[in-house]
Structure 1
Amino acid sequence: MARRAADGDASESTLSALETVVDDLASAYPRTAPAELVGHVQRHLTYVEALLDARMTLAERRRLIVIGGWLSLLAATCDIDLHHRPAATARLRTAAALADQAGHTEILAWCLETEAWQALTDGDHRRALDLAQAAQRVAPRTGSAFIQATAQEGRAWARLGAGAETRDALARVERLVTPLAMPDRPEHHYRYDPAKSDAYTATTLAWVGDPAAEPYARGVLARLESDGPPRPRRAASARLDLALALIASDRPEEAAHTALEAVTSGRLVPSNYWRAAEIITAVEYVPAAGELREAFRDLCASSRLQDHGAAGPG
């Protein structure tokens, strides 16, 4: 790929290879540390940039721009995971600009949905709601971005404490997901896996304090640990969902132990730390809270050291 980029080769085989790489990298997202994945994504973005100066047809150029849009979006997602906000913002703008240039509304909708997720992790719930609804207006109705944005809307409503609106969004997601078949690559970040809806339901119901979140969370965790390829990052996140659900069911001691498994798994990314912090606050009066708080403090310290090392001197 590097040689072809250096030679200015934008042939069919090169474009097809890059499209395959996009799918491979998006499928690696659930099981790869974001600091590692973003390096692979950036390397291929460099290839795409080099190829933009090659001679090609309009159709070939559009394919290359679409590839660049997906890669920029995935890089932005990794940056959000790592709390590298300026880089994430710049890459989201690049992805949106490329999507607009190519007339690719699915990528544009994913950009808005990703911004909604970032706003949610920042605690800006009203902005998250506005962005999720904007993504739905842009997204093709048959694409994965429309479903994901609807689920994100439900999470934003839940954080705003709007129970009726939350359940309405969950019902819409269920109607969208029910007729879907399992995709060939369910781990692909931009292809909606119907099983994801249960995970989002667990999180969303837990946030509105509904005890019904618990069976959803247990079912999601059981599937992640028994079916298909390993997805340890999703499993760690599912443990946080279960801990929240256990808090909603007034079982704080079990919630603390479940959250401790997530915190010590080595698979939580910085964009999930705020969720762990909320659980710690909710269970601070139980005996297991001290161990959980200490483990979380170690996790945050380790993350800061890794981030400083990745930045390098100067």
Structure 2
Amino acid sequence: MTFGEELRRLMTERGISQRKLAALVPCNDGYVSRVARDLKAPSPGMAARFDEILDAGGRLAALLPPPPPQPVAAVPFDDEIEALELVRRVAASDVGDDTLTALEMTVDDMASAYPKTPPGELLTRVRRHLSHVSALMDARMTLAERRRLIVVGGWLSLLAATCNIDLGQLPAAAARLRTAAQLAEHADHPEILAWTLETRAWQRLTDGEYGEAVTLARGAQEIAPRGSSAYIQATAQEGRAWARVGAAPETRDALARVERLVEPLPMPDRPEHHYRYDPAKSDAYTATTLAWVGDPAAAPYARGVLARLEQPSTGPARPRRAASARLDLALALLAADQPDEAAHTALEAVTSGRLVPSNYWRAAEVIAAVEARNVPAGELNEAYRELCARPGNGIEGPAGA
């Protein structure tokens, strides 16, 4: 006999309705329904509570199936989830402020870890927290608590989509962006909704669909609260898209708007946070944009950005962002007719171990431009092939590489 079958039998025998049992636990009425139909396995604590209310003497709790074995790599994340669950239970609430605050802090921690954590590793952690949030949706809570939980789910879905894009997992990224947008609409959270459009604009930019990238970036600006991090990032993304089509006036207009928005901003308390605009980030975006539009000022600008990322006056170095900045510098050096140094700089980026798959196309672009100048690029090509051949990348090498 299954847990759900015995639960239904005991409810009938004791004359306890589904609604009354839910009130006695207490829990959501729909949750009892799913457990009774064996659509959801209760936690050990909930199984014991059902057993106690129905006076089953431990027979009902004994029918709870054992949890599936967890891989060793998941243990640290299991510990993290268990800590959150302990807070929830200590608060004697189905969800409660302490649990929600802990989840919100965890989201901030993971968004701050994004620039320095391999995307596959971060995605594993984000997915486990998404599962925890999904499980909590069955709990009884106030409307305000539910909105906070939905917002947490929105940020986690957005961050998971970003990791998926970094890994070249585009169908999964598209699904998670849709989820993030739906959760943002349910919670009436325009900034998350704007970030979903900005993230799609970035993806279209990497796919070479520059016109759509402009449209999406502008759409994000229309939705985002003016001056918010999403608004600034979407404006910068618009400038990058204009640069890709060689539209210099539109590019410079976007860069000027970003500069005006960033000028009054203080340094955030966690500048590494992926969804809090760091004024220093605008320098890196400007370097990329100037390099793409072929501005002669791009090379010295990109050198300055790279130096600040590797040896900052305050805070830690940003090695992953520095690897990307090397590609900006390589492209700028090509525009300045310095292809030999460009090839060497691109090689440093490719062999750094810090590039994510969503940036491979930029390396391929530099390689193609170096070869077009008849500069030997055998070592660079070989390094690129090795990078793209790593298991799980699913990325092809550049044409002719």
Identify the match of residue 370 of structure 2 among 258, 277, 283: 283
Identify the match of residue 230 of structure 1 among 293, 317, 320: 317
Identity within the alignment, %: 74
Rounded Cα–Cα distance in structure 1 between residues aligned with 2:330 and 2:393:
27
Instruction: Say whether residues 1:183 and 2:268 are aligned partners.
Output: yes
- Shifted more, 70-79 versus 212-221: the winner is 212-221
Rounded Cα–Cα distance in structure 2 between residues aligned with 1:270 and 1:158:
22
1:53-102 CA distance string (max 9 Å, x none):
11111000000000000000000000000110000000000000000000
| 1:252 partner letter | P
Instruction: Say whether residues 1:37 and 2:122 are aligned partners.
Output: yes
Instruction: Say whether residues 1:255 and 2:342 are aligned partners.
Output: yes
Instruction: Say whether residues 1:155 and 2:240 are aligned partners.
Output: yes
Name which one, 1 or 2, has greater alpha-carbon Rg.
2
TM superposition score normalised by structure 2? 0.74
TM superposition score normalised by structure 1? 0.95
Identify the match of residue 199 of structure 1 among 280, 284, 288: 284
Unaligned runs of 5+ in 1: 309-314
Unaligned runs of 5+ in 2: 1-79, 395-401
Contact 1:256–1:289, Cα closer than 8 Å, also in 2: yes
Instruction: Say whether residues 1:297 and 2:385 are aligned partners.
Output: yes
1:101-123 CA distance string (max 9 Å, x none):
00000000000000000000011
- What SS does the aligned partner of 1:54 have? coil
1:164-215 CA distance string (max 9 Å, x none):
0000000000000011111000000000000111111111111111111112
| 2:322 partner letter | A
- Shifted more, 208-217 versus 33-42: the winner is 208-217
Contact 1:27–1:188, Cα closer than 8 Å, also in 2: yes
| 1:2 partner letter | I
Instruction: Say whether residues 1:264 and 2:264 are aligned partners.
Output: no
**What is the RMSD computed on CA atoms of the aligned residues?**
1.4
Contact 2:357–2:393, Cα closer than 8 Å, also in 1: no
- Number of equivalences: 306
Rounded Cα–Cα distance in structure 1 between residues aligned with 2:150 and 2:227:
22
Identify the match of residue 172 of structure 2 among 87, 95, 100: 87
Rounded Cα–Cα distance in structure 1 between residues aligned with 2:276 and 2:301:
21
Rounded Cα–Cα distance in structure 2 between residues aligned with 1:36 and 1:225:
23
Match of 2:81 in 1: 2
Instruction: Say whether residues 1:170 and 2:249 are aligned partners.
Output: no
Give the structure, 1 or 2, with the largest relative contact order (CA under 8 Å, sep 6 or more): 1
Match of 1:75 in 2: 160
Contact 1:253–1:286, Cα closer than 8 Å, also in 2: no
Identify the match of residue 12 of structure 1 among 87, 92, 97: 97
Contact 1:115–1:128, Cα closer than 8 Å, also in 2: yes
